[in-house]
Amino acid sequence: MKLGTKFIHAGVEPDPSTGAIMTPIFQTSTYVQEAPGKNKGYEYARSQNPTRFALEKAFAEIENGKYGLAFSSGVAATDAVMKLLQPGDEVIAANDMYGGTYRLFTKVFEKFGIKFHYVNMQDANNVKGYINSNTKLIWTETPTNPLMNITDIEALAVIAKQHKVWLCVDNTFASPYLQNPLDLGADIVMHSATKYLGGHSDVIQGALVMNDESLRDQLYFIQKSTGAVPGPQDCFLVLRGIKTLHVRMQRHCENGEKIAHYLRSHPKVGKVYWCGFEDHPNYEIAKRQMRGFGGMLSFTLKDESMEATNKLLSSTKVFALAESLGGVESLINHPATMTHASIPREERIKNGLSDSLIRLSIGIEDVEDLIEDLKQAIG
């Protein structure tokens, strides 16, 4: 089945009682039982909800996996993966990643005795020196947030399997339209479904997808026991968003490519971070494991003063200054004070995230309007 057809039909079947083509919003907290212990597969909505189950089936199908789980946010999904671990376990994590993930690791799970090693994963071999008998998980993003670094998922998967550790890939920036980490050997795929899967900046949600039934059962137990589940209305919105993922991603990619090249040619722009440039350090890996290069990019001005950076951030008229990404509208973001503010400045600078870095989430507007907006804002 081709991608577009898969995204439109994933997880959704006509409602058997009415024939409704869309999965109904089952807005209920509990279910009537015929007799004690005798039910129709649903007991309590924290554990089971038909709308959520349809979405979880869709998550699995679009990621070429067997099992999907929906969470109340991307961070909640990440939290569930971390709860597979025990005190004394160690995690090898990418040194360039979403600030909320770093905050969760350092401020929450380090206190419970989990040790984290932050490694530059642009060369997958860099993780080998950190693996020991306590290592249980490798956590990576690709492309990374916000420097658009690329990790070789297949190479990491080989290392993970050699040492019998899990590999979890945050696939938020690429989406299942561009990349399927399970096909490349990953054990778990994580999404902030708030972003491209929902696609309309109107819902907060997370997703996990995997192939191993035992791993699914463990994660489902955590999901049920901790209660980090999305409501049925939110599940309905993401189900609807997935139906247009392919057409949106096509436009995100087209606009992203044009804007990346426009910025690179601008005399006042310094460095542009976009994984579609042929001189990107891991361009060949990106080309091999992705179907396109996405709508996310970052850049700096040649004048890296905060005065020049703040002037640009405050001058756009089409690009909205806001956190998040992946919606139909274009957003401009300042990672140092917004999405990555929880990472200490010295750590950010060490990993290449400067105070003057600007991140763009390219929407699906007419690209001429987006370029004109950047032109007037840069000056």
Q: State pLDDT tens for residues 289-324.
A: 999 999 999 999 999 999 999 999 999 999 999 999
Selected from 3.40.50.9100, 3.40.640.10, 3.40.50.300, 1.10.3470.10, the CATH number assigned to the domain covering 3-242 reads 3.40.640.10
What's the N-to-C CA distance of the chain in angstroms?
A: 47
- 341 falls in which pLDDT band (50, 70, 90)? confident
pLDDT for 245 equals 98
Report yes or no: 117 and 90 within 8 Å, Cβ to Cβ.
yes
Calculate mean pLDDT across residues 11-36: 92
Q: State pLDDT tens for residues 42-98.
A: 899 999 999 999 999 999 999 999 999 999 999 999 999 999 999 999 999 999 999
Q: State pLDDT tens for residues 122-172.
A: 999 999 999 999 999 999 999 999 999 999 999 999 999 999 999 999 999
- By annotation, the residues acting in catalysis are 46, 98, 170, 195
CA distance 320 to 76: 26
Asked if the 246-378 domain carries CATH number 3.90.1150.10, the reply is yes
pLDDT for 333 equals 96
CA distance 78 to 69: 12
Classify each residue of 222-231 as buried b or exposed e, where b means 16 or more C-beta atoms within 10 Å of its C-beta: bbeeeebbbb
Helix (H) or strand (E) holding 75: helix 74-82
pLDDT for 266 equals 98
CA distance 319 to 312: 11
Question: Tokens for 334?
Answer: 């300042």
pLDDT for 161 equals 98
* Residue 374 CB neighbours (<10 A): 23
pLDDT tops 90 at residue 351: no
Residue 36 sits at φ, ψ, to 5 deg, of: -55, 120
- 346 falls in which pLDDT band (50, 70, 90)? confident
- 203 falls in which pLDDT band (50, 70, 90)? very high
Contacts of 332 (CB under 8 A, 6+ apart): 313, 316, 319, 320, 321, 322, 358, 359, 360, 361
pLDDT for 343 equals 86
- 344 falls in which pLDDT band (50, 70, 90)? confident
CA distance 252 to 309: 24
Nearest C-alpha neighbor of 74 from the set 295, 268, 326, 288? 326
pLDDT tops 90 at residue 218: yes
Domain ranges (residues) in the chain = 3-242, 246-378
Report yes or no: 1 and 45 within 8 Å, Cβ to Cβ.
no
CA distance 163 to 332: 40
Question: Tokens for 379?
Answer: 């000056």
- 33 falls in which pLDDT band (50, 70, 90)? very high
pLDDT for 321 equals 97
Q: What is the mean pLDDT of the chain?
A: 96
pLDDT for 216 equals 98
